[in-house]
Structure 1
Amino acid sequence: MRAVVFQGANEPMEIEEVDRPDCPDDGVVVETEACGVCRSDWHAWQGDWSWIGVMSTPGLIFGHEPVGTVVEVGDEVEEYREGDRVTNPFNLADGSCPHCREGRQNICERSIPMGFVPFSTGAFAEEYPVRAADTNLVPVSDDVDAVDIAGLGCRFATAFHGVAHRVDVDPGDWVAVHGCGGVGLSAIHTADALGANVIAVDLKQEALDKALDLGATHTVKVDEVQDVPQAVKKHTPGSQGAEVSVDALGIAQTCRNSVNSLNKGGQHLQIGLTTSEEEGEVSIPVDQIVFDEREFIGSYGMPAHEYDEIFRMMETGKIDPGRIVSETISLEEVPDTVASMGDYDTVGIPVCNEF
């Protein structure tokens, strides 16, 4: 089968003919319909994240925002059959650890990040495997566009889980989102759907315009203000700050700006992962967090069972992940699309739907 194959950090990825994946006894093989192209793919292509144990080795097949049709089923799978249309979270759980049994499969003790390790082939390929299918697979209706489902992928799912489940967003609350890439725009769209007033923060006017289209009520253009947190606070009642603030980028500046945009008792939501500049470490105003009883909350992926909530909100028109998809591309265009993400020019989510 054809696949995009990683050649080494910052080396151009290549289209190669590779063996089709083996089907796990507890898993399936899926024929790919579509797969989102994520900034996490760019991070891995850059060679980032060695500080958290992710080592990108030549031969990897990236791609972790998939949708497709089951073409092979392992002997131990009970709930899925050939011909089923499915998607899955990017962080594949084993279904048996204490966190999985509590419904928090996204932080499974033996989680495998799809497409970032040699034994879990990603979906920039004609087919991809999914382990523990009964735990990780999510049924997808035949009448839903594959591009929309791929748009849910890592970024929308992570943003939805974070905004809807990890922090407390009530109607009328003020939510600031720092960084309006794919995950930031997804957070804005979700917060708006939950009834919040959303302040979008970014350097690019195009990204801020898209944020307004997706429900933001105010914007802050970073290069036009001297103090980003104060500019955010000026939009909130009494200039007191946001109830929730999201770092959707992961650099030191956005993290600190987010924490400092909060009202007393506010919640900072960290979605963005850091770059080689920070290597996972960012200094934050700890004393002020203590004095104001602010909270610093992490959010990683989404458990498979939360997809039902998204699908119900899609059915009623409250959210539409397809609005965040910026373009559709072919498999041949994936290498250049991943490499170009270092320019931060992408607005929204590119999706590969030609294999």
Structure 2
Amino acid sequence: MSNPSASTAPPVAPRPGDPHMRAVVLDAARATPELRHVPRPTPPPRGVVVRVEATGLCRSDWHAWAGHDDDIVFPHVPGHELAGVVTKVGPDVARWTVGDRVTVPFVCGCGTCAWCRDGDAQVCPDQQQPGFTHWGSFAEEVALHAADTNLVALPDGVDAAAAASLGCRFATAYRALVGRARVRPGEWVTVIGAGGVGLSAVMIAKALDARVIAVDRNQEALDVALGLGADHALLADGRDVPAAIAALTEGGSHVAVDAVGSEQTCADAILGLRRRGRHVQVGLLPPVEGHPRVPMARVIGWELDLLGSHGMAAADYPAMLAMIEDGTLQPQRLVERTISLVQAAQELPDFDRATVAGMTLVDPSR
């Protein structure tokens, strides 16, 4: 989708038929986000426009603001976790109609390549990502591509708040543990970072009957993790985290998840594994002096598996949604607060330092 020029009109309540909408706009990397009026999107030929009912604010949005993604063209509207209602349908869409309640993975496949045909749209070489490759969901409406491949119908029992948490953090954690690490009952799983994706991983690991250690620098976040069933909580307050994990698990975790994305958290996760353990990298690792450093000597010597997890394709959503419908998974418990678009614009630049113990959702109608 081409990025129309944003107007600087002050935000007001939308009027029926108004060709403009409110959106959070970035003019450059690290620029102050502004709430503005912008033209409403039109659907791509194989895509749709969705009225956003809820959208998540997460660390990946901060990475976009900070300029860590080369795909972004400014001016830009961030936001990639969303749920809402279809308002417009492109001429080449077969499966969706106006009024359908939907969510979407943050990675949208092209729908035609070999990976998409095999159900692996999350690694599509021609993927689109709302909030990164095109304008995103920090707005009243968002355009989405290849709708027949990427959209997911929401069951009646899953509300917009729960669904908006699925597109990035919850679905990524689900695939990381189920599809990539293949966690087995009784295994030790260490989750480093008790933000949205980390708390999702705690909930999912417990649903898989694993034993879970949560690690974070924020005691409030750890308290939430314990409330979700974590067996142990480690405050990362300068202690030797790998040694503490090894002591709790008699030799290290079977599975580790870095849900933060830093050299320190990645190293702690890997060094806290037992021999032949599996590490899943979920948090984005921004470059440090060219490339982040990883303790590869341990990886080689202990035959550790390093796995990436890049979201989850729409084709894999039914099993997760079934666990949500029957109450086994309750992503709505992870939502700590809901804020307005104005608040989203204010909080985005500092979100990497936020101490929110759970997920923050944005309601564009506010």
> 1: distance between equivalents of 2:311 and 2:90?
25
> 1: distance between equivalents of 2:301 and 2:157?
51
Task: Tell me if structure 1 keeps the 8 A contact 2:286–2:292.
Answer: no
- Cα deviations across residues 159-179 of structure 1 (Å, max 9, x unaligned)? 111111101210100000111
1:230 aligns with 243
2:3 aligns with none
Q: Give the secondary structure class of the aligned counterpart of 1:2.
A: strand
2:269 aligns with 258
Task: Tell me if structure 1 keeps the 8 A contact 2:216–2:235.
Answer: yes
1:194 aligns with 208
- Cα deviations across residues 242-275 of structure 1 (Å, max 9, x unaligned)? 1001111110001111111111110011000013
1:210 maps onto 2:224 in alignment = yes
Task: Tell me if structure 1 keeps the 8 A contact 2:105–2:168.
Answer: yes
2:117 aligns with 101
Q: Of 240, 259, 272, which residue of structure 1 is paired with 2:251?
A: 240
1:184 aligns with 198
Aligned-residue offset at 1:278:
6.2
Q: Of 264, 279, 283, which residue of structure 2 is paired with 1:272?
A: 283
1:169 maps onto 2:183 in alignment = yes
- Cα deviations across residues 18-75 of structure 1 (Å, max 9, x unaligned)? 11112111111111111111111111111123xxx33x44321111111111111111
2:10 aligns with none
Q: Which amino acid aligns with 2:106?
A: F
Q: Which amino acid aligns with 1:243?
A: H
TM-score (norm 2): 0.91
2:18 aligns with none
Q: Give the secondary structure class of the aligned counterpart of 1:287.
A: helix
Q: Of 56, 74, 77, which residue of structure 1 is paired with 2:90?
A: 74
- Cα deviations across residues 111-157 of structure 1 (Å, max 9, x unaligned)? 1121113xx22111111111111000000124422111112231111
Q: Of 97, 104, 109, which residue of structure 2 is paired with 1:88?
A: 104
Q: Which amino acid aligns with 1:283?
A: R
> 1: distance between equivalents of 2:201 and 2:242?
18
Task: Tell me if structure 1 keeps the 8 A contact 2:24–2:78.
Answer: yes
> 1: distance between equivalents of 2:42 and 2:364?
23
- Cα deviations across residues 254-305 of structure 1 (Å, max 9, x unaligned)? 11111111111100110000135466x2222323222221111111011002
Unaligned runs of 5+ in 2: 1-20
TM-score (norm 1): 0.94
Task: Tell me if structure 1 keeps the 8 A contact 2:49–2:141.
Answer: yes
Task: Tell me if structure 2 keeps the 8 A contact 1:21–1:121.
Answer: no
- Cα deviations across residues 331-353 of structure 1 (Å, max 9, x unaligned)? 12111221231323122111012
Q: Give the secondary structure class of the aligned counterpart of 1:92.
A: coil
1:10 aligns with 30
- Cα deviations across residues 62-110 of structure 1 (Å, max 9, x unaligned)? 1111111111111111111111111101111111111112211100010
Task: Tell me if structure 1 keeps the 8 A contact 2:195–2:357.
Answer: yes
1:60 maps onto 2:60 in alignment = no
2:16 aligns with none
Equivalent pairs, count:
345
Task: Tell me if structure 2 keeps the 8 A contact 1:155–1:183.
Answer: yes
Q: CA RMSD in A?
A: 1.4
Q: Of 31, 36, 41, which residue of structure 1 is paired with 2:61?
A: 41
Task: Tell me if structure 2 keeps the 8 A contact 1:171–1:196.
Answer: yes
Q: Of 95, 109, 126, which residue of structure 1 is paired with 2:140?
A: 126
Task: Tell me if structure 2 keeps the 8 A contact 1:97–1:108.
Answer: yes
> 1: distance between equivalents of 2:31 and 2:65?
8
> 2: distance between equivalents of 1:121 and 1:289?
39
> 2: distance between equivalents of 1:290 and 1:17?
53
Task: Tell me if structure 2 keeps the 8 A contact 1:177–1:188.
Answer: yes
Task: Tell me if structure 2 keeps the 8 A contact 1:6–1:57.
Answer: no
